[in-house]
Copies of this chain bind each other. A is one copy, B any other.
């Protein structure tokens, strides 16, 4: 297998957009292409992610049209991936695998999503299609419900009073909003405090409004290339040193909602691939769709023993200048969550961090970063490890 590197990255501002999915992707894609010192005609394949375009815009088969917006040559295959929230991570992983294999030398990967115009209640119902909809939706198992159950189970299993756990969960939101306040592309760039979180509207007990990430519009893209080519083209290529992907299946196969087994399998692959382990990671972009989700992820990575990550944010261990910086972009919580774009935006943040280009939210001396995205309620997990 050949060494693979990310050359350029691009993303739109996340938030509420008037643009179509294709317009947003073109903006992010052209930014990534320009930053890579290449032209659209140099791209050999497009790995494109989108989840809800069929519902949102009546646009299902979007990859060849994204290809056209970018002016890619006819012979360049454009392939759409859908892995719920992990869509663009899975697309980027496949770009890296096929470059490593020598099938392509230069690939554009990424994703785009419009999620704000469908309105909150319709969006929750629509997002719930990414669960095992046949069994879980009729039982009311939308995503806030599943993660609320996980929070209750976590509190119970580890003997943490729920009231105490809620305060620690609130600290996760506070930390990610603090990070987001330094990210000009974040959906929310405003700091919040614990009282705001604990005073929020109840969504699914114990999750209140600020425990939940928003629905956002946005796109992100990355150019992946064979490492030698990458070194010829850009000053500081960032290397893809390991990837993992695993499938958890539906909820009825989960033995314990406090352990995302698919994540444990996926991150183990990425560690094995890269020869690295939890102690090597300086910075992480992880799937904080809900505050409890960040806590569970930290334990799956091996950063903390099971039952021990709940107060990591409270202790400042996961904030800027902490032991391992988690979601310096603001995470899904503050940067926003345009589902099909999220994975590529996470890669974008890690690449910029490892290049030392993150301005006030720069993680000092960051050399190794981990991307983590969870699709659905534990259905898919995908991880990517990057190194400067």
Contacts and interface: CB of A to CB of B under 8 A. Distances in A.
Interface stretch (A68-76, A112-120, A149-157): A68-76
Nearest to A246: B75
B101 A250 contact: no
Interface string A22-54: 100000000000000000000000100001101
Contact of A64 (B46, B60, B78, B380): B380
A261 B80 contact: no
A79 B74 contact: no
B75 A60 contact: no
Given A79-B81, A101-B101, A246-B77, A129 B60 contact: yes
10 contacts: A51-B60, A58-B133, A59-B133, A60-B129, A74-B246, A75-B246, A77-B266, A82-B82, A98-B101, A101-B101
B137 A74 contact: no
Contacts of A64: 247-250, 262, 375-376, 379-380
Contacts of A262: 64, 74
B61 A380 contact: yes
A147 to B, nearest CB: 16
Nearest to A262: B74
Given A246-B75, A265-B74, A130 B83 contact: no
A32 to B, nearest CB: 18
A121 interface: no
A266 to B, nearest CB: 8
A112 to B, nearest CB: 14
Contact of A379 (B58, B61, B81, B129): B61
A83 B80 contact: yes
Contacts of A51: 60
Contacts of A94: 79, 94
Contacts of A134: 20, 22, 57, 59
Interface of A: 1, 20, 22, 46, 51-52, 54-55, 57-61, 63-65, 67-68, 72, 74-84, 90, 94, 97-98, 100-103, 129-134, 137, 245-250, 253, 261-262, 265-266, 268-269, 375-376, 379-380, 382
Contact of A77 (B76, B79, B247): B247
Contacts of A79: 81, 83, 90, 94, 245
A379 B66 CA distance: 11
B101 A65 contact: no
Nearest to A22: B134
B60 A130 contact: yes
Contacts of A75: 246, 265-266, 268-269
Contacts of A103: 97, 100-101
Given A68-B250, A74-B265, A75-B246, 6 more contacts: A22-B134, A54-B129, A58-B129, A64-B380, A97-B101, A101-B102
A65 B247 CA distance: 9
